[in-house]
Amino acid sequence: MTITSPAELVRARLDADLELFPAGTRRTADGDISISGCSLRALADEYGTPALIIDEAALRARAAEFLRAFRTRHAATDIHFASKAFPSAAVLGVLAEEGLNFDVASGNEFSVARAAGVDPSRMLLHGNAKTDEEIRLVTSSGIGHIVIDNLDDVERIARIATTQVPVLLRVTPGIDAQTHEATATGHNGSKFGVSMEDAPAAIERIQSEPSMRLDGLHAHIGSQIFELKQFQQEVAALSELPRFPLYDLGGGLASRYTSEDPSVSIDDYAQVLVSAVHEHLGHDVRLMVEPGRSMVASTGVSLYRVVTVKRGHRTHVAVDGGMGDNLEASLYGQRFQPWLLGTDPRVETYDLVGHHCESGDVLVRDAVMPTASIGDLAVVPVTGAYTFTMSNNYNAAFRPPVVFCTDGTSRLAVRRETMSDLLAREVLL
């Protein structure tokens, strides 16, 4: 394709960037973008900005794709969505309708899933520091499994449980995953799980407790992993321990955030994982997998409005959101690839920054986008994972709404916070 004008350059860039958006995304003739038939400009007018927009059809399709990819290769597989990636009752309810189970990492996540109508038997509880209250809550409700992270968990369950509790033992396989240190969980220095050396004694200790039924082993090596052979290493490590009928291999499949990121399919992930299970653990084991980021990241986009444009040594385009609704950029340097819905046909390079009083509040450095003006809309794709989870009230900002879109219709899934919400916990003298 020969580009002959700035406007054609803009259209060519956007067509490339749309590969990162949910599958139901389209570019319209007037320069707008539609998500599952819903105009982003219309959504901004109706729900305000910042806002987190979810393509509901893409979310459902993602769940179906995970189930198909694994169960066609290993029928005895359960997909547990890692609730921490998007702990919203609306999202969990949709995924439950599609046949997923859930892992929860706290008593509160357990309660959110219950509010979504999820039966406790379809959940497993994680956590490296479970409290008495959490153990009491989930055991009295009939939790599917508790993942034992340490011997203190064993003591608590033995002391609190009134009926036998199904458990898994989390093992740290000693794998330094090729990912950011903040999202690596399988190395020997991790705070999660017991080491390979300590696992045999922990297994013996659990099996000596009549209040627990040890069904199998759990491992999770980290998040945002592109190199699939590391999952093979995880399975091979587990095979060195006593055999069990159930293995939970965690999650970790990477999501594609920019055009430079490689594309790793769910099919490729399932093929590698199941082949390793069949080779090292056998064909007759039950398998659990816990996708989080890879389930929801690509189904969501964040929508902002430009507030200021400052040109000088660097050009800063500031929007009405930032690290209050997306901590991934500042917390572990996640790179995003945004787009601007403007009217200027030119393209320039600038920093897309937030409005919070913090120098680290930068959404994207050196973003190449259409020239920005006050009032334009900026949209950041691949924000369906962990942005809702880590949204906060920096500078007393309101956490944004979550809007579901499907077949040209939008609906509010989580409303925007208000000042009454922020003040509700204050004890005013």
Distance CA 138, CA 120 (A): 8
DSSP conformation class of 182: G
Q: How far apart are the first and last CA of the chain?
A: 68
Residue 152's SS3 state is: helix
Which residues make beta-bridge pairs with 379?
A: 303, 339
Structure tokens at 109: 């996540």
| Residues contacting 184, CB < 8 A, separation 6+ | 176, 177, 190, 221, 222
Whether omega before 50 lies within 30 degrees of 0, making that bond cis, reads yes
Any idea which residue has 């998500």 for tokens? 35
From the number of C-beta atoms within 10 Å of its C-beta (0-12, 13-18, 19+), residue 289 rates as: buried
Return the axis-axis angle of helices 89-97 and 56-71, rounded to nearest 10°.
50
Contact present, 310 and 316 (Cβ < 8 Å): yes
Return the axis-axis angle of helices 151-160 and 199-207, rounded to nearest 10°.
10
Count the Cβ atoms, other than its own, within 10 Å of residue 209: 17
DSSP conformation class of 253: B
- The DSSP H or E segment spanning 134 is helix 132-141
405 counts as catalytic: no
The single residue of 29, 357, 424, 428 carrying the catalytic annotation is 357
Nearest alpha-carbon partner for 136 in 171, 163, 176, 96? 163
Nearest alpha-carbon partner for 51 in 405, 407, 394, 329? 405
Provide the CA 406 distance to its chain's centre, in angstroms.
21
Distance CA 268, CA 291 (A): 14
Catalytically active residues are 357
